[in-house]
């Protein structure tokens, strides 16, 4: 059988199909229906240092071939995850990549220091799509409870983000890197077309890999009510609708850094994942498709295996850089 193993810096995975942050909970929710040990890795829903309530409803809207969400980082906080969930995941034998978001370098450093002590953490993914506090007046606006306040503050909370500023990206990754030798993955926002300066900033600061990218900022408005269909006004678009945009960003970014890239955006079938590998990704993360069928990543991995066998390619790594121009 073809070899699906991949290495992302110091992290070796049995197969290159991961589940994307926020689309598979913390894994345990799916343990009864999905053999977790067959996932390349599980990236957890993003955790913050303090619990967050998330955004006001509605939080999900379907759009043509896409999903717009404004979940807004609802989570119970890092400590409860480490105390209750991580030990329960251990028997599942799936590499666990913990996604975290901090709103300052100190915040990120404290979380990474805590994670560094945990054996069950295979890698850390830094979700850099947090508000750039140099521009937004209060980072706490990110999770404002009152929908009234939300309506007025939301534009600030979606943009600009840390991930859109190379200097802040570098500072955040550097703060994290100083506290751990574990593989560190910087997840870049795909908003904007030229990701090279931010990707290079993450590379300079010691990231082991990049995830390219995330949801695209978007809106869906209801002409009848003349309101946004999302309680938080704006949201992030995911699903097949964004795949060509995501493949382009992986291709473009892969030419500007040496870091391995995890490609994410609209993957439903093995054929979709193959586009990302040809564009230069070393691994892929399946997101929205998990809501329709949480076994999608397993199907994608099997499909990759079959494709490689059909093409007479011995390993997934050999696809790298074979895009014909
Ligand atoms: C409902 C929902 C929640 C998400 N939550 C997170 C999150 O907590 N952290 C994060 O980094 N990305 C989050 N994402 C983004 C996904 O991890 C993924 O990068 C993005 O959706 C693109 O992939 P897809 O088109 O396959 O969904 C979320 C996406 C969705 C649809």
Antiparallel, parallel or unpaired: β 216-218 and 235-238: antiparallel
Q: What tens-digit pLDDT sequence spans the chain (325 residues)?
A: 899 999 999 999 999 999 999 999 999 999 999 999 999 999 999 999 999 999 999 999 999 999 999 998 899 999 999 999 999 999 999 999 999 999 899 999 999 999 999 999 999 999 998 655 554 433 343 343 333 333 333 333 445 677 788 999 999 999 999 999 999 999 999 998 999 999 999 999 999 999 999 999 999 999 999 999 999 999 999 999 999 999 999 999 999 999 999 999 999 999 999 999 999 999 999 999 999 999 999 999 999 999 999 999 999 999 987 999 8
Query: Do 18 and 273 contact (CB within 8 A), yes or no?
Result: no
Which protein residue has the closest C-alpha to ligand 1 atom 12?
A: 21
Q: Would you tell me how many other CB atoms lie within 10 Å of the CB of residue 32?
A: 6
Helix 243-254 to helix 196-204 angle, to the nearest 10 degrees? Answer: 50
Which protein residue has the closest C-alpha to ligand 1 atom 28?
A: 22
Q: In what order do the strands lie in the sheet with 66-69?
A: 60-63, 66-69, 235-238, 216-218
Q: How far apart are CA 306 and CA 313, in angstroms?
A: 10
Confidence (pTM) = 0.93
Query: Do 261 and 206 contact (CB within 8 A), yes or no?
Result: no
Q: Return the ligand 1 atom nearest residue 268 CA.
A: 26
What is 6-55+72-217+238-319's CATH superfamily? Aldolase class I (3.20.20.70)
- Could you tell me the residue ranges of all domains in the chain? 6-55+72-217+238-319
Candidate list 108, 130, 242, 270, residue with the active-site label: 130
Q: Is the CB of 245 under 6 A from ligand 1?
A: no
| Phi and psi, residue 6, nearest 5° | -135, 155
Q: Distance, CA 310 to ligand 1 centroid (Å)? A: 32
Q: Is the CB of 46 under 6 A from ligand 1?
A: yes
Q: How far apart are CA 186 and CA 27, in angstroms?
A: 21
């Amino acid at each position: 059988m073809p070899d699906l193993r991949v290495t992302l810096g110091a992290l070796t995975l049995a197969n290159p199909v991961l589940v994307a942050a926020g689309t598979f909970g913390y894994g345990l929710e799916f343990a009864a229906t999905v053999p977790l040990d067959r996932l390349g890795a599980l990236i957890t829903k993003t955790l913050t240092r303090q619990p967050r309530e998330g955004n006001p409803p509605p939080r999900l809207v379907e759009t043509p071939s896409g999903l717009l969400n404004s979940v807004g980082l609802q989570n119970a906080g890092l400590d409860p995850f480490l105390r209750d969930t991580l030990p329960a995941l251990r028997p599942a034998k799936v590499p666990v990549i913990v996604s975290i978001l901090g709103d300052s370098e100190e915040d990120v450093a404290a979380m990474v220091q805590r994670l560094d002590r945990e054996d069950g953490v295979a890698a850390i993914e830094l979700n850099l799509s947090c508000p750039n506090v140099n521009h937004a007046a209060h980072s706490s606006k990110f999770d404002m409870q009152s929908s009234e306040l939300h309506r007025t503050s939301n534009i600030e909370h979606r943009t600009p983000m840390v991930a859109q500023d190379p200097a802040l990206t570098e500072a955040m990754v550097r703060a994290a890197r100083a506290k751990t030798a574990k593989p560190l993955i910087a997840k870049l926002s795909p908003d904007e077309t030229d990701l090279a300066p931010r990707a290079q900033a993450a590379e300079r600061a010691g990231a082991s890999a990049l995830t390219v990218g995330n949801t695209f900022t978007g809106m869906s408005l209801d002409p009848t009510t003349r309101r946004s269909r999302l309680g938080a006004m704006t949201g992030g678009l995911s699903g097949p609708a964004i795949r060509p945009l995501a493949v382009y960003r992986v291709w473009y970014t892969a030419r500007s850094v040496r870091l391995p890239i995890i490609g994410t955006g609209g993957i439903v079938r093995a054929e979709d994942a193959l586009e990302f590998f040809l564009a230069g990704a070393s691994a892929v993360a399946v997101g929205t498709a998990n809501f329709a069928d949480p076994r999608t990543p397993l199907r994608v991995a099997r499909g990759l295996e079959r494709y490689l066998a059909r093409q007479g390619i011995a390993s997934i790594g050999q696809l790298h850089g074979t895009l014909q121009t």
